[in-house]
């Protein structure tokens, strides 16, 4: 099988047969050089992908704690969502009042430990933000 491979901006024609691979530089005939491999892997076209930024580990970062006991009425964020300082994360009902729990800093939500309807206690970690 023959493949055209680009390596460091230069194109090579690679021919793969049982136990042997031959590469020829397509830019200049005098630069042709055969290459032999002992055990070539299954020949498949190689796709180069841009590196993806690593996601923050689940639960990494600073905890967001419940300021008082109550019930979570609404969860307004999701894991891996970017938030700004002061953005509303949760609505907490305590003593028949709705209280907004806001982001203490800008960052990314790495975990949410409560669901809508959950009962929480004072200083219970309800989310983490990095």
Ordered by start, the domain boundaries in the chain are 2-31, 62-129
Look at strands 62-65 and 10-17 and give their pairing. Answer: unpaired
User: pTM for the whole thing?
Assistant: 0.56
CATH code for residues 62-129: 2.40.50.100
Range from 1-5, 16-20, 55-59, 120-124 carrying the lowest mean pLDDT: 55-59
pLDDT at 42 over 80: no
Mean per-residue pLDDT, 53-68: 77
Q: Could you tell me the maximum CA-CA distance found in the chain, to the nearest angstrom?
A: 85
Which pLDDT does position 61 carry in this prediction? 87
The whole-number pLDDT of residue 34 equals 53
Q: Give the chain's end-to-end CA distance (angstroms, integer).
A: 50
């Amino acid at each position: 099988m023959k493949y055209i491979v680009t390596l460091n901006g230069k194109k090579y024609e690679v021919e793969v047969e049982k136990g042997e691979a031959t590469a020829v530089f397509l830019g200049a005939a005098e630069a042709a050089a055969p290459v032999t491999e002992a055990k070539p892997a299954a020949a498949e076209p190689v796709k180069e992908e841009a590196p993806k930024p690593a996601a923050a580990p689940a639960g990494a970062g600073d905890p967001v704690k419940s300021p008082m006991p109550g019930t979570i009425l609404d969860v307004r964020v999701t894991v891996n969502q970017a938030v700004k300082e002061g953005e509303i994360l949760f609505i907490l009902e305590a003593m028949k009042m709705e209280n907004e729990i806001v982001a203490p800093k800008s960052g990314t939500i790495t975990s949410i430990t409560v669901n809508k309807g959950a009962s929480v206690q004072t200083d219970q970690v309800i989310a983490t933000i990095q």
